[in-house]
Each structure stands twice: as structure tokens, then as C-alpha cells.
Structure 1
Amino acid sequence: MKKYFYTSLVFGIFGFSSFQANAQPKQPMPVAASADKYELELVAEGIQIPWGMAWLNEQDLLVTDRAGKLRMIRNGKLLKQAIKGVPKVHAEGQGGLLDIELDPNFKDNGWIYFSYSGYEGDEEGYNTSIMRAKLKDMQLTDTQLLFDGAPNTTTTKHYGSRIEFDKDGYLYFSIGDRGERDVHPQSLEYDAGKIHRINSDGSIPKSNPFVNQQNARNSIYSYGHRNPQGMAMHPKTGQIWSHEHGPRGGDEINIIKSGANYGWPEITHGVNYIGTKITDETSREGMEQPDWVWVPSIAPSGMEFVNSEKYPQWQGHALVGAMKFAHLVLVKLDGNKVTSHSKLFEGAGRVRSISTHPNGDLYLGIDGMGVYRVVSKS
């Protein structure tokens, strides 16, 4: 697909340098035309880093706090008691209790899925783990470890990790490169730097692309990823979309394809944080090009397709949190093509997660501030 870019001067630690990576010059990200039609309404404070959100029903919202607690917002109020039974997490750096998602048949089976930086595994350190459990009387029960990322490492960054089901009931989740870009992302022997696909019970789908390949981790669905912290299923096509953090520049949106290599770190539109080159290549045969690139980086987190009539100007498009610039990004789509972007709620804070209430209302989890609802201005 054609690439689109948001370009400007990239400022480094020791000065500045111009970096465009074959981009077409554009103006800074515009304010969305619909920005003045909506505002944020505080729902609940007290959750420091609301990494993931999932609605159990119209009254109860589960929210993960990266520090390691699972909280419940009931009828718009944060319950004082945290949910018990959460596994031990390594809550340091970018690690902790991460994303949360309901089983597509939750009403019948009660399964809740969550990702976290866990201590499971034989090696010293920690990695991304996937667990499912049921909830009864503010207690997790029937906990089942479905996936344990390997190998463990003592680095505390780039865990990913978002969770998403597709229309066929497969569970996708992301693991970042764990800070070892020259080892993990391009090797199928490691779980890091990948998007994985498993069945809801943790077993491996027979149709996974590397299931019969020797020395390959058979849960891998795509590879060559840096640190994906957004994932959502397109409501019409059923395709899994993801976005990931680039280095300094080069944040990407990708439509995830079976067996595809997304290039990191062999190709990138970003540079090292000190301004030095990672590679001269932005494309290579056999490697996917992103469907959208942000240069400079916006530090994206959370992703939601808008499928609600309550937001007619946004319906059919996507929302992404821009933690670096403390606003929400409206990503305009024409089918499967990203056509433009614009900003909403300037200065709102580090938007970490986005969720849709069963009635269509949009909710934002904002670091250090809490959970907010997007409401129409009266």
C-alpha cells in the first residue's frame, strides 16, 4: 500500500536534525474539524496507568492498572476493593498488568483474558504472559496460563502487549522486541518482536503460518515488530490491525497478515534516540510496508474502530492515543487505506487505552488522571 507520513524536524538529545525518510512534506497534524463537538467527562480517578479496559456488561468496567491491580468501575464509580487473584507481575519500567479482553462467548463461558509481564519460565527475568480466568465475587477463579513468552530477560521494556479476538475466535496478542532488536524480531526461534495467534484455550491453530517449520515458535503469526501497543479488529473486514512504537520516528500502523515480516530492525523510517542511523533501508523485498507512518513519533497506545452512531463524524474511522503529544488521534480511513489524521482533545494527557461501552459511548484511560467518557457538547 501507499505510505503516508507526518513529517517535521526531529529534535535530538544533543541538538536537531532533519529526517524525512522519503516522506512527502506535510504540515503539522491538524486539529480535527469535529474537535469542538465533543468533550471529556471524568468517570473515575484513582487508576494510575489504565493500560486496558473491558466491559463485562452495561454497568461493570474492568480496568487494569499497570502497577499490578485489576480494578472495577461499577455504575461510574471506582470500587475501593481491587479484584483478588491477579498473578504476580513484574511492575517495573514498561512492565506490569497490561491488556484485558473478554472471550467472544463471555456471556456463556465467563472467560476473561489478560496479558502481563510475568516471572513464568525457567530463565531469570520476565516476559509477556497470557492468562485467562473467571470472575466471581471480586475474585479471579479457574486461572489458566495459556502462554509464557520465551526466553525471559531482565530488561523492563517492550513487552507489547495488546490482545484481540478475530471473528473466527482466534486470540491474537503482541510481544515487543524486549529491547533486543538485533536478536529477537527477525528470528522465529524467539517469541519477542512478534504477533502471536492461539486458540482461546491456548492450543495452536493448525493453520498458523509456521506451525510445521522446524525451530520456529508455532504460535507466531507475524514477525519483525518493535513494540506493538495497539490492536483492534476491523468491524467490517474482520482483519486485525495493529500499531507499534518506532524508535525516534517511525511509529507504524499495520494490517496484520499471516506469516508476514514487518521489517524491524532491517527496515525502518526512524532513527536511534541520539539521532544516529539504524539502517539506510526503508523498504526491502519480502518485507511489508506500513499502512501509515508517523515521523516524528507520537508514542501510540490503544486503538479502537468507531462503530457507534453517537459519533457520526468518526464512525467508520479509528482512534489512537498519542501519549507523546497528550491527545487523541482520529485516523481517517477509506476502506483499508489510511487517508489522513487529525488531533482531538489537545492537552488531555497520555491516552493509554480506548474502549466502547455496549451503548456506543467511548471511554479513554489516561495516565495519571483516570477514566473519561467522550460526550457531546450540549
Structure 2
Amino acid sequence: MNKLTKMLCSSAALLAVSTGLCAQQSIEIKSEKATIQLQVVSEGLEHPWGLAFLGDGKMLVTERAGRMRYVNADGSLSEPLSGLPDITVAGQGGLLDVILHPQFAKNNQIFFSYNEPGETGSSTAVARATLTDNAISDVQVIFSAQPKFASRHHFGGRLVFADNGDLFITLGDRGQRRDDAQTFDTHHGKVVRVTTDGSPSAANPYLQRADALSDVWSYGHRNIQGAALHPQTRQLWTHEHGPQGGDEINIARADHNYGWPEITYGEEYGGGKIGKTKQDGMEQPLHYWVPSIAPSGMTFYTGELFKAWQQNLLVGSLKFGQLVRLELSGEKVTDEERIMIGQRIRDVRQGPDGAIYLLTDQKNGQILRLTPIK
């Protein structure tokens, strides 16, 4: 895989970003197919996690520390919105993704994922709520992963709407419970598919199985923090963290087993084999990384600004502070470019203006905007 990789950056650009640009400042980055202007739109966010575009240049952003804010067109931040439920902020858990209802213009509803506390620990939950001024109201929990478990790791949490209005929710194996990814009686290591009221989707494969949770869509996952619908096939593409090596890109298909922890291209932290790399009945990744890039956030680029990037898959890297651009031919990755940003990238979004927006996973996190320089 690494033979495809091209790492491009200038030392001046890397220094500027890694030491922290101020809002409204910009730098130039030369990449393989575009010269890019990188601008800081907003800053002062504590480990931002998810981003949604509201229109008129306004955005909604989550902070893992348990806050949700508006980002105004000028980059200024609102006070935290009131009305959020109790959230356990610990380790990788907290307030996670946010997504608008497909009919948001009519109903002002949003959905967000978070680490929900319980008597035996916590788990990823998803709530539906109404956005009103500086508050959210009518909060209803539509999904709560089972079982609750005392762990600070592997919550998944990405949210994607299917074309029919169903909601895909990605989940992690919770670290110490990785064998659960191969069972059907827990949500650990699964993708689930539900309606907007939380009912299992009619498309789910296990509706008639007494030994399986009826909202499960696919299984054998480790920790999915990137998901997006393919612009042509409309299938759900995901990426997930491997252990030490073995980060993967997959197409999450119903009733398919993605192998964790039976198969992986990674190894135990500090060394040591985990299972095999291939096994009958388990899916091979479309693409994988060794060493790990720690992927988070993902989008297919369909805009007009970066014409040479159309239909490319863009993935954020936490470990290396990069935007990874993947060229595709059908379901194959044909080329990979790594564009150095210099900060941990938590989320990647295409804006209504065709620009690329990145969230940086820092205590003083930023929203970055990428546009081509013509």
C-alpha cells in the first residue's frame, strides 16, 4: 500500500500550521493536483468532533468535552447550546458526531452521538432533538448501544443518512471487549441501521433471528470513525482503526463480517500477532495502512472547486496530521496522496461552497478551510 503514497508539504507550511495559525490567517500548500490555500476559519474549540452546515455560512460543531456551538459566518463562536443530555466525558468518549435531519429545513431536527452514562458504565447513544435559537429541545434518545461497559475507548460514533432516510450508526468494540465484534448479542464492533425514531430498519438482515440484535447491519469492526455514502453507488463506505497497523477502508454491506479480531493486518501494541490476515467468510479491506494513520472523518469529494479531486475519497489522519486523498476505480484504490496539514484531523467535510473543511483534534481546536489557488 505504501508504494502508492506521496507525501507533499513545504517545511514553512508545516511549521506554520503545527505551531497554530490564528483565525483568518492562511498559508499555501502545494499538492500533487492542486495548490491549496489553507485558512483558519475558527478556533478555540476543545477537541471538536463533528460538523454540520446550517446555511448562510453558519455551522454547528460539537466538542468532545460535551459542548455544541454555532460557528457564525465570520468564524466567531456562540456560547454552548443548552439542553444537551448527561454526557460522560472520559478518554475517547464525550459528545461526538452531529448530523441534520434530511428534512431539517422543515423540522429543525438534528441527531447527535455521545457517550451515555449508565449504572454499569457507558456506551454510544444517539439522540434526536430540535434546534431552537441557542438551545436544543425535545431531546429523545433513539439508540443506546448495549451493554453499558466501563471503558474509555472505541466508541465509533459516525452518523450517515441512507437515501431512504434510515440512519447508519458506527460503533467500536470498546477496547477490552473486542471478541464481541463477532457475536450478535451486543452492539460492540457493529454498524447499526435504524429509522429516525430508532426502530430497526426494514432492510436489516437479522430481523427474524432470535439470537441477534435486530438493528445490526454489519459486524466484525474495530472502531469506525469515518463513514460516507458513495456518490454513485450510494453504498456505505467506512474506515476503521486497526490496532498497531491495519487501519481499513471497507464497504459496510448487510450481513457481512469484516473480521475483527479474527483477521487484521495489524498487531498487538508493542508487538504480537492477532489472528490471521485472511479467512473464509470474512471480508478483505478495499485498502489498508501499515503503519496506521489513525483515520478519522471521511468524505467523497463531489464539488466544483477541486475539479481534479472529483470522486476522490478524502480521509483525515490523526496520527500524522494529514489529509489523505485516494483516487478510485470502482471499488479499488488506485493512488494515494498524503497532504501534510500538521495537526490531528478529526473530521473532513465538503462545504456547500465546495471547499474542504477540517476539524483539528486539539485542546485549542480549529476549523480549517481548504480552497484551490487558481
- The TM-score, its normalising length taken from structure 1, stands at 0.90
Q: CA deviation at 1:27?
A: 6.6
1:72 to 64, 70, 84: 70
What's the RMSD between the two structures over aligned residues?
Answer: 1.5
Using the alignment, how far apart are the partners of 2:131 and 2:114 within structure 1? Answer: 17
Superposed counterparts of 1:91-240, under 5 Å? 91-120=89-118, 123-240=119-236
Q: CA deviation at 1:214?
A: 1.1
Using the alignment, how far apart are the partners of 1:268 and 1:125 within structure 2? Answer: 28
1:47 to 2:45 alignment: yes
Answer whether contact 1:181 1:226 (CA < 8 A) is retained. no
SS in 2 for 1:41: strand
Q: CA deviation at 1:193?
A: 0.4
Q: CA deviation at 1:376?
A: 2.2
Answer whether contact 1:233 1:241 (CA < 8 A) is retained. yes
Superposed counterparts of 1:1-378, under 5 Å? 5-6=1-2, 26=3, 29-31=6-8, 33-34=31-32, 37-120=35-118, 123-279=119-275, 281-344=276-339, 346-368=340-362, 369-377=365-373
Answer whether contact 2:357 2:368 (CA < 8 A) is retained. yes
Answer whether contact 1:34 1:313 (CA < 8 A) is retained. no
Using the alignment, how far apart are the partners of 1:305 and 1:110 within structure 2? Answer: 25
Using the alignment, how far apart are the partners of 1:104 and 1:116 within structure 2? Answer: 20
Answer whether contact 1:133 1:144 (CA < 8 A) is retained. yes
**Bigger mean CA offset, 78-87 vs 318-327:** 78-87
Answer whether contact 2:38 2:369 (CA < 8 A) is retained. yes
Using the alignment, how far apart are the partners of 1:28 and 1:358 within structure 2? Answer: 29
Using the alignment, how far apart are the partners of 1:316 and 1:27 within structure 2? Answer: 18
Answer whether contact 1:94 1:158 (CA < 8 A) is retained. yes
Q: CA deviation at 1:189?
A: 0.3
SS in 2 for 1:45: strand
Q: CA deviation at 1:163?
A: 0.4
Answer whether contact 2:186 2:213 (CA < 8 A) is retained. yes
SS in 1 for 2:179: coil
**Bigger mean CA offset, 52-61 vs 66-75:** 52-61
CA shift digits 1:313-347 (9 cap, x unpaired): 21111110011111110011112322121111x14
Answer whether contact 2:82 2:135 (CA < 8 A) is retained. yes
Using the alignment, how far apart are the partners of 1:167 and 1:340 within structure 2? Answer: 29
Using the alignment, how far apart are the partners of 2:177 and 2:81 within structure 1? Answer: 36
CA shift digits 1:257-294 (9 cap, x unpaired): 00100000000100001111112x11111111111010
Q: CA deviation at 1:109?
A: 2.1
Name the counterpart of 2:17: none
Q: CA deviation at 1:169?
A: 1.1
Name the counterpart of 1:15: none
CA shift digits 1:149-196 (9 cap, x unpaired): 111111100001100011111100111000134431001000110000
CA shift digits 1:65-115 (9 cap, x unpaired): 000000110113232411111111111100000011111121122210110
Using the alignment, how far apart are the partners of 1:82 and 1:162 within structure 2? Answer: 21
Answer whether contact 1:321 1:351 (CA < 8 A) is retained. yes
Using the alignment, how far apart are the partners of 1:321 and 1:347 within structure 2? Answer: 10
Unaligned runs of 5+ residues in structure 1 are 7-25
Using the alignment, how far apart are the partners of 2:196 and 2:4 within structure 1? Answer: 44
Using the alignment, how far apart are the partners of 1:255 and 1:347 within structure 2? Answer: 27
Answer whether contact 1:181 1:265 (CA < 8 A) is retained. no
Answer whether contact 1:224 1:265 (CA < 8 A) is retained. yes
CA shift digits 1:19-76 (9 cap, x unpaired): xxxxxxx375443853651021010101121110001113220000000000110113
Using the alignment, how far apart are the partners of 1:175 and 1:247 within structure 2? Answer: 16
Using the alignment, how far apart are the partners of 1:207 and 1:176 within structure 2? Answer: 22
Using the alignment, how far apart are the partners of 1:276 and 1:239 within structure 2? Answer: 34
Structure with greater proportional helix content: 2
Answer whether contact 2:178 2:188 (CA < 8 A) is retained. no
Q: How many residues align?
A: 351
AA in 1 matched with 2:148: N
